[in-house]
Chains A and B, each alone.
Chain A
Amino acid sequence: MSTVAREWREIPGRYNLEGTKCENCGSIFFPARDFCPKCRRAGIGKISRYDVCRRGKVFSFSIVHDAPDFNNMLKPYVVAMVQTDDGVMVSAQLVDVDLDKVAIGMPVRAVLRKLSADGASGVIRYGYKFVPDE
């Protein structure tokens, strides 16, 4: 079970793929980081907001048959590592897709979907999933 605060504070990343960029070295971070692991001290105060590109290609994928409780109704479902057009790697579900058609290199785009719900009266979590970009 999750709390509202835990989900609410992640909304920029979960809904809008909002990450950060280090103005010192140009690295893009998703999920957002407030501290550049490459520049370390030299990057302090130079981290700005960055909107990750919502289009990309499947870098790798798997069809998940052994699902967590919150996804039990979806199985089998596809997960993918998506390399966005600006080079960010994002792990997410790939939906609205024929399981036989998924392939490495396939163009995809991010959409907003329901991720899970804590029972009938708990928190409903929303976030990005990817769909084929046709």
Chain B
Amino acid sequence: MRDVAIIGVGVTKFGELWNKSFRAIGIEAGMKAMEDANLSGNEVDGIFVGNMSAGRFINQQHIDALIADYSGMATNHVPATRVEAGDASGGVAFRQAVMAVASGMNDVVLVGGAEKMTDLDDTSINAIMDSTADAEWEAGMGVTFAGLHAMIAQRMIHDGTATREEIASFAVNSHFHGALNPNAQFRKAITLDTVLRSGPVATPLGMFDCAPISDGAASVVLCPLEDAKKYTDSYVKVSAVAQASDTLSLSQREDITTYGATVAAAQRAYQQAGITAQDIQVAEVHDNYTVAGIMALQDLGFYKRGEAGKAVLEGRCQVGAGPVAVNTSGGLKARGHPIGATGVAQIVEIAEQLRGSADKRQVENAKYGLAQSSGGMGSAVTVSIMEAI
């Protein structure tokens, strides 16, 4: 297996991009990444695209062909593959691309993630999100995606492993960083009171506990580590890409206040990279709901069970404030959550941090960064670790 490097990154602004089509945002992110990697385009010999549901969001299947065509890669007949894993589509696409380069099958791979959500009404969008849990036995019974996360939160509060305030504070942390990210959907810091007083979605969770509906795309370019210098002086090493699965339905788990797939993927990733959670200085975690962010910090080993909420509430996850800065991009809550793009956008943020190009949200002297992407109710999770060169 070859070591793999990220040699270019690109991301669009996230938000309600009414004037831009799916193909426009997908190509914008890809072009930025190609430009960042100093590529002409002819070097690329493989494409992987994370996309959850263009078939339902914009009635377009065959996203792989669309991206290959509009990126100009179809003229060279470059193989393109679309990857779907619910919310983790982008994270899994990244892993597939790393494996393609590591194995020697491909030399220069373009990874994209894109979703165009705002062409549909909110109720239809929620129905699509609900279908990433068990469509027959959860969503179909009236148990919404938000409701499932809410029941995790309710149980945590009951068990005494987190308070409502601690859970809500995750959104405060995300917005604190979102205010510093020019590409974030919400560039405004908020107070804990704003989260607690937001309209109820599924109690105890309110509107500000939930990631927004977003359009957006992100892209990275990979090549073998030994070739990276041919293209750029600004690259990072991919030290680990791990993935794990769990039951589709939350009700099939022994314990609903931890995601076993995050725990398993993290263990595998730390082993691959030869490090522990304590070596990570910056992390992007999947806070599609605040409660999921709290769980992630515990499942990844940054904090013990019952401790993550306290750390976030005390502001220890902000840049420069604690051992690991969390969701410096603004996370899913403030940067935005165009589903397929999210997992790739996390990689973009970590690469920016390790290259030292994260501007006002820069973590000083970051050596290792981690990205955790979770699909459905933690049914598919990727944990990737990047290392500064």
Contacts and interface: CB of A to CB of B under 8 A. Distances in A.
Contacts of A62: 146-147, 150-151, 154, 202-205
A128 B137 CA distance: 11
Interface in B122-170: 123, 126-127, 130, 136-144, 146-148, 150-152, 154-155, 158
A66 B201 CA distance: 5
Given A69-B127, A79-B144, A60 B151 contact: yes
Contacts of B141: 91-93, 115, 127-128
Interface string B198-231: 0111111100000000000000000000000000
Given A59-B155, A64-B142, A81 B256 contact: yes
B359 to A, nearest CB: 35
A64 B130 contact: no
Interface in A60-117: 60-71, 74, 76-77, 79-81, 89-93, 104, 115
Contact of A77 (B123, B140, B142, B205): B142
B76 interface: no
B148 A91 contact: yes
A69 B123 CA distance: 7
* Residue of A61, A89, A91, A115 with most chain B CB atoms under a 10 A cut-off: A91
Contacts of A115: 140-142
B251 interface: yes
B126 A68 contact: yes
B142 A79 contact: yes
B252 interface: yes
B154 A91 contact: no
B147 A68 contact: no
B142 A60 contact: no
Given A77-B142, A92-B141, A104-B158, A64 B151 contact: no
Contacts of A63: 200, 202-203
> Interface residues of A: mostly helix, strand, loop or mixed?
strand
A68 B251 contact: no
B137 A31 contact: yes
Contacts, number: 97
> Interface residues of B: mostly helix, strand, loop or mixed?
helix
A133 interface: no
A11 B139 CA distance: 17
A10 interface: yes
A61 to B, nearest CB: 6
B51 interface: no
B249 interface: yes
Contacts of A93: 141-143
* Residue of B199, B201, B202 with most chain A CB atoms under a 10 A cut-off: B202
A65 B201 contact: yes
B250 interface: yes
B115 to A, nearest CB: 20
A65 B199 contact: yes
5 contacts: A13-B137, A59-B155, A60-B151, A63-B203, A74-B142
Given A31-B137, A80-B151, A115-B142, 12 more contacts: A10-B136, A60-B152, A61-B154, A62-B146, A63-B203, A65-B199, A66-B144, A67-B144, A79-B142, A90-B251, A93-B142, A128-B141
